[in-house]
Structure 1
Amino acid sequence: MDKTKRKGSKTIQSIPPEILAQLNQGVIETANLVEWLAIDVNKMLAIVLEQGGKTSYLVPVLQALEAIKKPTVTLKNATIGQVLLTQASEAEDEELFSFLAEHPADMPRCWATYMIGGNPKLSPTAQLQAIQPFAADTHFGVRETAWMAVRPTIIANLSLSLAVLEPWTLHADANVRRFATESTRPRGVWCAPIELLKTTPELGLPLLENLRNDPEKYVQDSVGNWLNDASKSRPDFVQNLCDRWLEESKTKATAYIVKKALRTINS
């Protein structure tokens, strides 16, 4: 569950001014995607860096944001994280990452995930290990940003990444289990596809098998979506796997996953 119990507004225009001010100041977490999209990223950046005594980093980040031709919130967050990583590295600043990673607002924690994903000093294994606390974050936005931040690393080091992520499917935290499949979806959402998993989804079996009967709907949805992605290029694999699962695992969880997995094949 997310820390905040607010439901959030349905439109940006209906967000109360006092709530929007608190969001921009980094005082509270966003309650939904609408609030996340409503944040004035530049304003929050200036306030957060002032909070951390890091105002010298502001101008380079703002310049990088200004250079983005087609800005989206995701691209802005990635840019902020990458430039802050560069600035902190040049200044030998070891405090900035911890400050952002522990920030009470969700968006600064998102910036921290990109400081992990863009850090060339971290090996692929070290990146995944460093991202796990963010995969387990209580906030939906941080969890989504976490897998997006390291997806390029996963794609470039697929075999290693799958091996590292396999034990995550047995983790006590459902958010960590879900990260294993969500981060490796063959097609994914708002991200580059993993071509090898589109053509050879069998590589993902060690992850999928461990989650075929997961009790959490959050995880079930991710597994079903993973297989639905694969079904668009390898319907034979998905159909055969689902048939076997239904025979071997007669549970509501497996039945739900299979239904979600076969929605494109059965459409």
Structure 2
Amino acid sequence: MSKLQRKGARRIADISIDCLESLNRGEIETANLVEWLAVDQRLLLEHMLQQNGRIHYLQPILLLLDQLQKPTINSINETIGRALFDLITQHGDHTFLTIISNHAADLVRCWAAYTVGDDKQLEIKELLLSIRPFAADRHFGVREISWMAIRNRIVLDLDRSITGLSLWTMEKDENLRRFASESTRPRGVWCKHIDRLKQEPSLALPILEPLKSDPSKYVRDSVGNWLNDASKSQPGFVRTLCHRWEEESDTKETKYIIRKALRTIAK
């Protein structure tokens, strides 16, 4: 079995020394969340920069990491990504963004997603285009980080973001369809809420409507969770929408979404 096919350990303590060393050197991807949490991002950063002749980037980033009041895996990930953007910009080192965007290690690609998301020069249409490769990444971690990397920009330009993301609901790639829903969840996970969508969830109907009977469980889970988020502030909207969907779309996929959407209301 190849390293990419392994299932991954159930506990950090069960990860082999050889596997952990390979992860920290950026030679392989993490196989599951346990491995993702086990990677020493500082060590991975050092190896990656050394391998690519950018070791002079290390100390400025480490100084920023040392200043973190709550160094979680997500805050470390974001800090490294945004610091890399500043360094790439300062040195005109745009080829390095290409290198990290295509790196073998999923966590390095996560840093690249934050680097792309930190480019304030990009309009939301350009930003969505730039984040697409990360939203469609083969690795779950990169896909999750991709929407978090531009979540604040989506909030600041919500109307145009919804318009752009509504087109993603027609994509063949389920990861892109899922991104459209997950990135706009009113309450979301590990991120700030979108107050406007908490109060006006109907604004996101151009995203939700095309996904009401999506063939992918990955997408259906996100849509169901989106509506469950909305039900906590606008239960009437969610009840009405689910009732209409029930009448319009008599499929097992829609029924699945409705059950997830109404789970808080049903308690």
Counterpart for residue 224 of structure 1: 224
Q: Which amino acid aligns with 1:11?
A: R
Shift of 1:121: 1.7
1:170 is paired with a residue whose SS is coil
C-alpha distance in 2 between matches for 1:101 and 1:112: 5
Deviation at 1:48, TM superposition (A): 0.6
Deviation at 1:234, TM superposition (A): 0.3
> What residue in structure 2 maps to residue 114 of structure 1?
114
The equivalent of 2:177 in structure 1 is: 177
1:210 corresponding residue in structure 2: 210
- Can you give the 5+ residue segments of structure 1 that lack an aligned partner in the other structure? none
Match of 1:39 in 2: 39
Match of 2:244 in 1: 244
Deviation of the 1:71 alpha carbon: 0.5
> Matched residues in 1 for 2:4 and 2:241: separation?
39
Tell me the equivalent position of 1:28: 28
- How many angstroms apart in 2 are the aligned matches of 1:56 and 1:143? 29
The corresponding residue for 2:162 is 162
1:60 is matched with which residue?
A: 60
2:49 match: secondary structure: helix
The structural deviation recorded for 1:246 is 0.7
What corresponds to 1:7 in structure 2?
Answer: 7
1:46: Cα distance to partner?
Answer: 0.3
Aligned residues with identical type, % of pairs:
52
2:113 partner letter: T
* Structure 1 residue ranges (4+ consecutive) displaced by more than 6 angstroms after TM superposition: none
Q: Are positions 1:81 and 2:81 aligned together?
A: yes
Per the TM alignment, residue 5 of structure 1 is displaced from its structure 2 partner at its CA by 2.1
Q: State the Cα distance separating 1:123 from its structure 2 match.
A: 1.6
Q: In the TM superposition, what whole-angstrom CA distance separates every residue of 1:126-171 from its partner, at most 9, and x where no partner exists?
A: 1111001110000000000000000000011100100110100000
Instruction: Provide Cα deviations, 1:68-98, integer angstroms capped at 9, x if missing partner.
Output: 0110111111100111111111111111110
Offset from partner CA, 1:93-134 (integer Å, 9 cap, x none): 111110000001100000001011111121222111100111
Would you say 1:194 and 2:194 are equivalent positions?
yes
Q: Secondary structure at the match of 1:137?
A: coil
CA–CA distance in structure 2, aligned partners of residues 70 and 39 of structure 1: 17
Secondary structure class of the residue paired with 1:250: coil
- Which residue number in structure 1 is paired with residue 145 of structure 2? 145
Give the paired residue count: 265
In 2: Cα distance, 1:228 partner to 1:24 partner: 38
Equivalent-residue separation in structure 2 for 1:223 and 1:202 (angstroms): 13
The C-alpha deviation readout for 1:11-51, integer Å capped at 9, x for no partner, is 11111111101100101100111100100110000001112
Give how far 1:54 is off. 1.1
- Shift in Å, 1:56: 1.1
Give, in whole Å, the separation in 1 of the partners of 2:107 and 2:64: 18
For the pair 1:51 / 2:51, whether they are aligned, the reply is yes
SS of structure 2 residue aligned to 1:4: helix
**In the alignment, does 2:132 pair up with 1:132?**
yes
Structure 1: distance between partners of 2:5 and 2:186: 33
Cα RMSD after superposing both structures: 0.9
Residue 265 (structure 1) aligns with: 265
Structure 1 window deviating more from structure 2 (71-80 vs 121-130): it is 121-130
**CA displacement at 1:4 relative to structure 2:** 2.8
In 2: Cα distance, 1:75 partner to 1:211 partner = 31
Q: Could you tell me how far apart the structure 1 residues matched to 2:87 and 2:105 are?
A: 21
